[in-house]
Amino acid sequence: MFSFRTLYFVSIMFLIGPALCLAEKNSNEKTAVAMTEKWLALTDSGKYDESWSEASAYFKNMVSNEQWKRSLEPARKPLGKTISRRLKSALHKTSLPGVPDGEYFVIQFDTSFENKKTAVETVTSMLDKDGKFRVSGYYIK
């Protein structure tokens, strides 16, 4: 039979549990967004080797450093300098098409470039094997 104390503890945990999970998600989201912004700064400044080095192990297994540079240079160079970037959204996902299940944030930025005034950058950040969020995908639309 449950005592009042046990029932009280279970009730409190029922109420606090979701709040603790939300706090962890918010902390992870802030961490993932901050890391993504640092990574984007590397690409903005043409430091493609460094951006590849800072990407997730999954990313580096899928794309060699040379492939990354060959694909990024023609995609970014015509856009010119980054003028502004504003966080649009950060969606937490545990499953995405074509990749292993895990902890992901699909982060979008409204970005303005010198030669393209309105663009949306989508960066997928994943929790890597070392426990840090790292970029696993990057797209400009």
Predicted confidence band of residue 73 (pLDDT cuts 50, 70, 90): confident
Of 129, 128, 101, give the one whose Cα is nearest residue 32.
128
Percent of the chain, pLDDT > 90?
A: 74
Instruction: Identify the structural domains of the chain with CATH numbers, from first to last.
Output: 4-140 (3.10.450.100)
Predicted confidence band of residue 71 (pLDDT cuts 50, 70, 90): very high
Predicted confidence band of residue 27 (pLDDT cuts 50, 70, 90): confident
Please give the Cα distance from 95 to 97 (Å, whole number): 7
CA distances (Å), origin 4, targets 9, 13, 15, 34: 9, 14, 16, 45
Express each pLDDT in 103-135 by its tens digit. 999 999 999 999 999 999 999 999 999 999 999
Of 121, 133, 122, give the one whose Cα is nearest residue 34.
133
CB-CB neighbours of 55 under 10 Å: 24
